[in-house]
Chain A
């Protein structure tokens, strides 16, 4: 079964606006970690943000925030004040009891000037 589902293959956003990338996950393990990574066209995989399953507060890192809704098993990434440099592929990922980081299919974000 798919552990991570990203339903948006691609999105367009206007510069300076916010964008929300959807991610749902599937696990029966009470202890798990949720991650978002950014992959620009150059190919490298850049760590953005982490949310633990027991964390009470939503994680934030600069312009990135993670909207964690545990009951709905959703971990959406919000990018505020989008910049041209935010154009990239974004991956949601999870580790649970098997300790392997499983990735979703990714969402391509294109920021328009």
Chain B
């Protein structure tokens, strides 16, 4: 158990809908990262928050947004969902801001299916 908690584990929804994925980092970790894993794109970095502030942005679509709350949990909001958004979404956390020696610990992921 990595200590990173993601809910829900599975989510099935329809095109055009909006969903929220939730992540609680490991105790003491200040950074939260979101990754998307799909068969065609592999693991793609979406966004990072550090202590409530956006720290780095990757291949995140404009239809997607995220935030980190004062208690350090994070939510990833996906709107106007398309079939291609079906993927496994991971949250990870780390102690600091990130860097070459920063280990990321991953949650179990949320499997999103858009029908």
Which positions in A face B, CB cutoff 8 Å?
Answer: 29, 31-33, 35, 37, 42-47, 50, 52-53, 91, 95-106
Contact = CB atoms under 8 A, between A and B. Distances in A.
Nearest to A35: B103
Contacts, number: 67
B88 interface: yes
A102 B2 contact: no
Interface of B: 2, 33, 42-43, 45, 48, 55-56, 58, 88, 90, 92, 97-109, 111
Contact of A99 (B42, B98, B106): B98
The majority secondary structure among interface residues of chain A is loop
Contacts of A103: 42-43
A95 B98 contact: yes
B33 A101 contact: yes
Given A102-B45, A106-B42, A50 B100 contact: no
Give the 8 A-B residue pairs with the shortest CB-CB distance, closest first. Answer: A45-B106, A99-B98, A103-B43, A33-B100, A44-B108, A31-B100, A100-B45, A32-B100
Nearest to A49: B103
Nearest to B88: A43
Contacts of B104: 35, 47, 101
A47 B103 contact: yes
B40 to A, nearest CB: 11
Given A98-B56, A105-B42, A52 B33 contact: no
